[in-house]
Structure 1
Amino acid sequence: MEVLLESLSDVFQINTLIFILIGVASGVAIGVLPGLTATMGVALLLPITFGMEPLSGILLLIGIYFGAVYGGSITAILLNTPGTPASAATAIDGYAMTQKGQAQKAITVATLSTALGGIISVVILILLAPRIAGFALNFSAPETFALALFGISIISSLTGKSFSKGIVAGLIGLLIATIGLDPIGGTQRFTFNNANLTQGLNLIPIMIGLFAAAEAFRSVETLFSKTNIKVVIEKSKLKWNEFKGLINTILRSAGIGTFVGMIPGTGADITAFIAYNEAKRFSKDKSNFGKGELKGVSAPEAANSSLTGGAMIPMLTLGIPGDAVTAILLGALVVQGLQPGPMLFEQDGVLVYGLFIGMLIANIVVLLLGIYGARMFTKILLVPKAVLVPFILMLCTVGSFSLNNNYFDVMVMLVAGIIGYFMLKNDFPASPLILGLILGPIMESNFRRALIMSQGDFSVFLTRPITLVLLILAFITLFSPLLIKITKKYRKASTKA
């Protein structure tokens, strides 16, 4: 109890609270800008914390982390421009709601889901951190491969109108993911002796092109027409009954995000799409997904934010970062003279519980910023297209270039934008391509590592319980929509006969 009281007094000092607020606000600004990820934001501001008190410095970085995860959803919803890779899933239904004139409602749902998902994950972190982290150690190459395959199987729920077009888009994503160095042997694949392709194509420029640039190119068609997106602010507020219907989705997605987050090497990209798929699977009316379904916005946002708490579990308890951001936070702790691991709870209990309390406050700050800023965010839709389209293309260019200060990334973004434009015109969904690009390298490298572990014995995927369960779920998820369609056609044919 003394440790808890001391932690509370440390966190509720005015300077610590100000640093949390600055961190969250900065993170939201970073998340909104295409090309700037939470990892980049935390890495850029890491040196600032070296001269600060450990608690204030780490909470500043955590605030940036939480804010950036949330910020990516704002442009995803309003402009179909995911600020971060994790918010690509949010754009599917979020932008559809904006086109219906429900932008404020979509942002409100995203805000509530983000805050609640983050709070749930922190509570789980506080209560179950050591036990959950121990379970995460059971995940080696076979389990991670099965998890990635399960993520790939979600393509079947992102196919839109045509199952075949979605599968084709997903396969193209997997093919693009093979460009670069072989993950095991180190040999070059499809690089055509171009040094820029040695490390493969960067995900961020492709994502910016497929979503943001493609949408901007399509907007050029109606640039000077009088037809604009209908914006209804006053009448698009979230009702209590609508929120009540999202509670189960938020709880389920928060559980998924926390679980996936604690597995080292995974990320919010996988989590968001898994949560979206599960929301669709449990929904009574699946037809509304992709057309502006509230659960389609709530699920990925709750999962994204809960991953933050989940990723902190192995980092604090075992000294193993759950994702790229927690790897930087691990370095920040070490620089402050702290050693993450089991002894951290014993030797620096005041700091640990201070971080837990600070994480809860950071999620509350996200909630307040989002709720009170929702109407202000939607004002961007009132900007004329003649101004907005060039501004979006400028952000796309700056965001792509800023990754590596390389014009090649800008070219990749433009090519992806042109391809994305023709995909939009021909009803090819972009999400399966992005999913294939994200999960392809994870799946391939862990598949081959698993075979090296088993000396080429494929039974390693069937003899490990966690792997087997995930593989079964993957095959059920992939083929169930197709089987349902075939069954419906057969029933219709038999009824007519």
Structure 2
Amino acid sequence: MDLGYGFGLALEPHNLLWCFVGVLVGNLIGVLPGTGALTAISMLLPLTYPMQPVPAILMLAGIFYGSQYGGAIGAILLNLPSHPPHAITCLDGYPMTRKGKGGTALGLTMLSSFFAASFGILVMVFASPLLVSVAFKFGPTELFSIMLLGLVAGATMSRGSPIKGFGMTVIGLLLSTVGTDVQTGQQRFTFGIAELSDGMELVSIAMGVFGIADFLRHVNRMKHVSSLRAVKLSDMRPSKTEVREAFFPMLRGTLVGTLFGAMPGTGPTITTFIAYALEQKVSRTPEKFGTGMIAGVAAPEAASHSKTQVDFIPTMSLGIPGDAVMALLLGALLIHGIQPGPRLLTEHPDIFWGLIASFWVGNIMLIVLNVPMIGIWVKLLQVPYRFLFPSAVFFIAIGAYSVNNDVFAIYEVLAFGIFGAIFMALDFPIAPILLGYVLGPMVEENFRRAMLLSRGDLTVFARHPISGTILAVIAILLMAQSYFAIRARFGSGSRLPAPPTDVVA
């Protein structure tokens, strides 16, 4: 019944149109190296301000999972890992292309992606409503603890050193305190700058640390993509033998992505690498990986897409972003006056069920789009960066200015861009900044409420059963991260190739 209500919303003409715009733009952005879902959502977020919440979220979600489809095209056909999750796909995808099986690799990728996305959607349908039964047991004490779990998970599970992740999270929390305190009316950390009295704009931070920073780091990239033989529709139809060979890797990759999708703070990059490593372990011919193995393409792509869909469970149902993109989508919900969390399913069923139904509609759209347009996407890869980057920066400046028609927002974007480029060059993870900024106000608000209700008794967080359990999980997470850090420092390194470090997962 609820899912039928969602399909009724998703298939309304205006919602269907914005879903199509989202998956089309996401697919295009996913193909282009150096850009991604974060950049695209940051640029288009101001466009959603005058829109109703449902079409706005459908479009932004379409950009997210649409970019996952597009990223595989460059990885398989041209050995260009447009985004970190697809770096592992290059290892076997491009060798398949060199053997004349590039179309087959793309066909299997689409099959794996749709299967994994459908499984992830079903997990959302059955898992998320279970939280409704406990929704009203979440008071300020429990909400503070669960937000704290999101911050710790995002800081410790991000790429690189957990200490650096904590540092970036604290910077994000500090940025969230800039502006006027809603309870006292006092201005905090504005340094006499009137434009900061309302706080810093989420769009400016996201565009700066992800968009401008990435452009600054790759501004000297002038590589031109070589020509490629056209991929025909008949090339993309895998044989029955190839489908049977891909089935179990696709299933295992889907389960890996689903497992990690339910864990806040994990990104899709580590998911794809784990799925690939698992296939090497269970394969009878692990030495052939890297020479064009079907399992080396099907498993990581399935993991990436199931992870993408299941990522919405902690974001929508608990208010805990799974990664930086989810944090940005969480911010978009807050901008539209919608509070993610356990009560979302009862207070805004149109958002939740409309979004779930749009996933199936959007994934079917992506299959229809990709089959005839592969050649066009490949041609777009040949656009010189000296044209691509200035155009993107121009649209970022327009997007920042359009939020409040204020030139100061452009200066904010530039400042955060320089800041982000410096810390990326120093190998600091950038995603925790956005996580801290988005969750900061909610952490502060619920902490204050809990303190008022308990008359300043800090032990209230341990005495409440749900809150105490979450704090125990946080402690276990910190101990586990400490153990792995010590083991990595003094133990032997892994043979699995490291994820790329030039782009944030």
Q: What does residue range 306-317 of structure 1 map to in structure 2 within 5 Å?
A: 306=313, 310=317
**Shift, 1:171, TM fit:** 2.3
1:117 maps to which residue?
A: 120
Could you tell me how far apart the structure 1 residues matched to 2:440 and 2:334 are?
23
1:220 maps to which residue?
A: 219
**Shift, 1:442, TM fit:** 1.9
2:434 maps to which residue?
A: 434
Q: What does residue range 282-321 of structure 1 map to in structure 2 within 5 Å?
A: 297-298=304-305, 300-306=307-313, 310=317
1:201 maps to which residue?
A: 200
Secondary structure of residue in 1 paired with 2:422? helix
Q: What does residue range 369-380 of structure 1 map to in structure 2 within 5 Å?
A: 369-374=365-370, 375=374, 380=380
Secondary structure of residue in 1 paired with 2:200? coil
Which of residues 16, 35, 46 in structure 1 aligns to 2:42? 35
Cα deviation, 1:347-387, whole Å, max 9, x if unaligned, reads: xxxxx9x9999766533221112233344556543321111
**Shift, 1:163, TM fit:** 3.6
1:477 maps to which residue?
A: 477
Decide whether the 8 Å contact of 1:210 with 1:430 is kept in 2: yes
Could you tell me how far apart the structure 1 residues matched to 2:219 and 2:135 are?
48
Structure 1 portions without partners, runs of 5+: 47-60, 80-90, 257-270, 313-321, 331-339, 345-351, 493-497
Secondary structure of residue in 2 paired with 1:121? helix
Decide whether the 8 Å contact of 1:173 with 1:436 is kept in 2: yes
1:66 to 2:62 alignment: no
Secondary structure of residue in 2 paired with 1:382? coil
**Shift, 1:420, TM fit:** 1.5
TM-score by length of 2: 0.65
Higher mean C-alpha displacement, 416-425 vs 26-35: 26-35
Could you tell me how far apart the structure 2 residues matched to 1:429 and 1:232 are?
38
Decide whether the 8 Å contact of 2:120 with 2:258 is kept in 1: yes
**Shift, 1:151, TM fit:** 1.0
1:364 to 2:360 alignment: yes
Structure 1 pair 456–216 and aligned structure 2 pair: CA distance change class (3 A): same
**Shift, 1:30, TM fit:** 7.6
Could you tell me how far apart the structure 2 residues matched to 1:187 and 1:436 are?
22
Cα deviation, 1:433-476, whole Å, max 9, x if unaligned, reads: 22222222222221122111111011110011111111121222
Which of residues 231, 247, 255 in structure 2 aligns to 1:248? 255
2:191 maps to which residue?
A: 192
Structure 1 pair 357–179 and aligned structure 2 pair: CA distance change class (3 A): closer
1:447 to 2:438 alignment: no
Cα deviation, 1:85-114, whole Å, max 9, x if unaligned, reads: xxxxxx973375698788979898776655
Decide whether the 8 Å contact of 2:19 with 2:62 is kept in 1: no
Decide whether the 8 Å contact of 2:176 with 2:437 is kept in 1: yes
Cα deviation, 1:409-443, whole Å, max 9, x if unaligned, reads: 21111111111222222212211222222222222
1:164 to 2:163 alignment: yes
1:152 maps to which residue?
A: 151
Cα deviation, 1:135-177, whole Å, max 9, x if unaligned, reads: 11111111111111111112112142x3433332222222222
1:94 to 2:85 alignment: yes
Structure 1 pair 149–184 and aligned structure 2 pair: CA distance change class (3 A): same
Secondary structure of residue in 1 paired with 2:42? coil
**Shift, 1:220, TM fit:** 1.6
Structure 1 pair 311–165 and aligned structure 2 pair: CA distance change class (3 A): closer
**Shift, 1:28, TM fit:** 3.8
2:173 maps to which residue?
A: 174
Could you tell me how far apart the structure 1 residues matched to 2:335 and 2:152 are?
28
TM-score by length of 1: 0.65
Could you tell me how far apart the structure 2 residues matched to 1:425 and 1:341 are?
44
Decide whether the 8 Å contact of 1:98 with 1:231 is kept in 2: no
Higher mean C-alpha displacement, 459-468 vs 399-408: 399-408
Structure 1 pair 416–357 and aligned structure 2 pair: CA distance change class (3 A): closer
What is the total number of aligned residue pairs between the two structures? 409
Could you tell me how far apart the structure 2 residues matched to 1:329 and 1:299 are?
28
**Shift, 1:132, TM fit:** 3.7
Decide whether the 8 Å contact of 2:256 with 2:303 is kept in 1: no
Counterpart residue type for residue 117 of structure 1: G
Structure 1 pair 116–443 and aligned structure 2 pair: CA distance change class (3 A): same
Structure 2 portions without partners, runs of 5+: 27-36, 72-81, 95-104, 281-296, 320-329, 339-344, 493-505
2:423 maps to which residue?
A: 423
Decide whether the 8 Å contact of 1:180 with 1:199 is kept in 2: yes
2:406 maps to which residue?
A: 406
Decide whether the 8 Å contact of 1:153 with 1:474 is kept in 2: yes
Counterpart residue type for residue 193 of structure 2: N
Decide whether the 8 Å contact of 2:113 with 2:301 is kept in 1: no
Structure 1 pair 134–94 and aligned structure 2 pair: CA distance change class (3 A): same
Could you tell me how far apart the structure 1 residues matched to 2:230 and 2:152 are?
37
Decide whether the 8 Å contact of 2:262 with 2:311 is kept in 1: no
Could you tell me how far apart the structure 2 residues matched to 1:95 and 1:392 are?
22
Counterpart residue type for residue 370 of structure 1: L
Counterpart residue type for residue 467 of structure 1: S
1:25 maps to which residue?
A: 20
Secondary structure of residue in 2 paired with 1:137? helix
Counterpart residue type for residue 308 of structure 2: E
Counterpart residue type for residue 400 of structure 1: A
Could you tell me how far apart the structure 1 residues matched to 2:211 and 2:335 are?
29
Could you tell me how far apart the structure 2 residues matched to 1:455 and 1:209 are?
41
Secondary structure of residue in 1 paired with 2:432? helix
Percent of residue pairs bearing the same amino acid type: 22
Decide whether the 8 Å contact of 2:41 with 2:60 is kept in 1: no
Secondary structure of residue in 1 paired with 2:218? helix
Could you tell me how far apart the structure 1 residues matched to 2:8 and 2:428 are?
51
Secondary structure of residue in 1 paired with 2:381? helix
2:100 maps to which residue?
A: none
Could you tell me how far apart the structure 1 residues matched to 2:230 and 2:142 are?
46
Q: Alignment RMSD, CA only?
A: 4.9
